[in-house]
Chains A and B, each alone.
Chain A
Amino acid sequence: MELFTNQVLAGIATGAIYACMALAVVMIYQAIDHLNFAQGEMAMFSTFISWQLMQWGLPYWGAFIVTLAFSFAGGIAIERVLFKPLTKAPILTQVAGFIALFSIINSCAGLIWDFTIKQYPTPFGSSPFLGSQLISTHQAGMIGITLLLLVGLYFFFQYTRVGLAMRAAAALPESARLVGINTSWMIALGWGMAAAIGSIAGMLIAPVVFLEPNMMGGVLIYGFAAAVLGGLTSPFGAVLGGFLVGIFENLAGTYIPHVGNEMKLPIALALIISVLVIKPAGLFGRNIVKRV
């Protein structure tokens, strides 16, 4: 039993990574009704920016704030320049756009900062948290920030005018325009927020997986899995999904034979497909009714 609780605890710790990424995934899904396959790469790029800023002598939190602002602006810029013209294009074209973006960012990061692995600092330290060997202070800090982010998003969407307008634009774009909401800018705002949240995820994940251009590949898949499990439309579901995926991964590694590190991605795959097939709306997503 102790093994079980320990593994659950460790699962929550890794789950925080996925939860954070899943929040960014949900954010963009809310805004544009699509999954952004370049989301992980955008987060990676932001993390590199913060690393560079720290190399130039900025303190951690200074770099953190600047990176956040940069990512927000960058997300908006990408939407305005590259994706706004594709709004009415077939889904295939948009997916192609995401993949192109993925490719460009990954390659550019490699060109600028090369592909060697870099150490990334943590503001929380990495000693055991409350004497537990299973969770480090960094992981505890990560869980804390993820939850904080979730609460922040909840208040933003529930109690601010912009949040309300964004929800309306995502739910019924035409009706939203009829009450005077500029839906096009709401989409851009969604991109910006998703990029900013993604950058937080990247900066929190980097101390765990180390900084390199391909660091987000696996994490993004898990973020997708978490978001899908949580229902793609619910930030709360995404975070819960992230923790569940983390726990699931750890338990599977402990109790199912042959499941080692290399099984991580196949597990995520199996999870995504089973959730999509069995309960496409996820745990907390609203059912999407499509008019014919």
Chain B
Amino acid sequence: MSAVEEIASQAPAVEAVPKRAMTLSSGTAFVIVLLLLVVPLFVKNFIIFQMTMLLIYGLAVLALNILTGGSGQFSLGNSAFYAIGAYTSAILMEQYNVNYALTLPVAGVICFGAGFLFGQPALRLSGVYLALATFALATAMPQILKLGFFEQWTGGVQGLVVTKPDAPFGLPMSQDMWLYYFTLAITIAIYIFSVNLLRSRSGRAFMAIRDNEIAASAMGIDVATYKTLAFGVSAGITGVAGGLGAIAVQFVAPDSYTITLAISLFLGMVVGGVGWLPGSFVGSAFIIFVPNIAEGISKGLSGAVFGVLLFLVIFLVPHGSRQVAMVAQQLLGKLRKN
């Protein structure tokens, strides 16, 4: 058996995405940011709220994308980190009167720690086993949150109500709009951080591990450290998203963070295109709006619609929105030439 074939016959866990293909060009990015800044001025509060959620879930999907698209590890359990982040923010705000903005870094750090710790056992697992362990984590999380032991902080099954912050400095904008711009600022900051992370030494290490773990370790990359680091970073960002989500929704309860959320995030990543960071927000839009539309048609239909669409994506556009964007770009290029 020749060496070429040996490599070809091994199905990778995650298809490799080159670093260049992970981001947007600066022109496109500029237009998108401009739109994100201007649009809320002209729409109703409810739409602003949905846009806020789009950014928040986008962050959570982005976090998963760093883990899976970057370092090649799976997680069906990121809802657990989202829950930890949400609860951290909620508990700090409601039980300890901490300013909402300050709760987010705490949520991020705590989740980084949680992810890093979970990454330790996860180190020895790969592919489907890791999916299994994280799947179990996601299923167990609501139960852990309901524990009587934590009830004095978490509010048990009832959960906690979170107050929505007002705009500071007497700025003349609604709570929803303020929260939107606040979220947007954090999202842009995290996005830039993620892009730079993947372009850095650590990012190259992640990708080397994703593409071939053994070769990576042979090149002197400390596989264990980088894999747990990826888990930590992913969990940390998810935690910040969770904290923001708690503030935006004004409520945390164990059953908001079930396996369904984990599946949604995973779905968002696949639809957006694994490894393509901007796709995270396309995926996020998908997981926010598709269930609404489906529920509008018939109650309980959203799961079926989700599943069918996911199959369609897998079969027709396995690279998700990245593929669509690339095709669109090529078409545009052709039009320009004509």
User: Residues of A with Cβ closer than 8 Å to B?
Assistant: 33-35, 37, 82, 85-86, 88-93, 95-97, 99-108, 110-111, 114-115, 217-218, 221, 224-225, 228, 258, 260, 262-266, 268-269, 272-274, 276-277, 280, 291-292
Contacts and interface: CB of A to CB of B under 8 A. Distances in A.
B136 A224 contact: yes
B98 interface: no
Main secondary structure of the interface of B (DSSP, over half): helix
B274 interface: yes
Lowest 6 A-B CB distances belong to which pairs? Answer: A107-B303, A104-B307, A103-B307, A100-B310, A107-B304, A269-B140
A100 B266 CA distance: 11
Contacts of A101: 307
Main secondary structure of the interface of A (DSSP, over half): helix
A96 B131 contact: no
The range of chain B's interface size is 35 or more
Contacts of A218: 139
B304 A99 contact: no
B43 interface: no
Given A102-B307, A110-B300, A262-B147, A272 B136 contact: yes
B148 interface: yes
Interface in B296-314: 298, 300-308, 310-311, 314
B14 A82 contact: no
Nearest to B214: A292
A224 B132 contact: yes
Contact of B147 (A100, A263, A272): A263
B12 A90 contact: yes
B56 to A, nearest CB: 22
Contacts of B305: 107
A90 B135 contact: no
A51 B148 CA distance: 37
Contact of B314 (A33, A97, A107): A97
Nearest to A258: B149
Contacts of A260: 148
B289 interface: no
A256 to B, nearest CB: 12
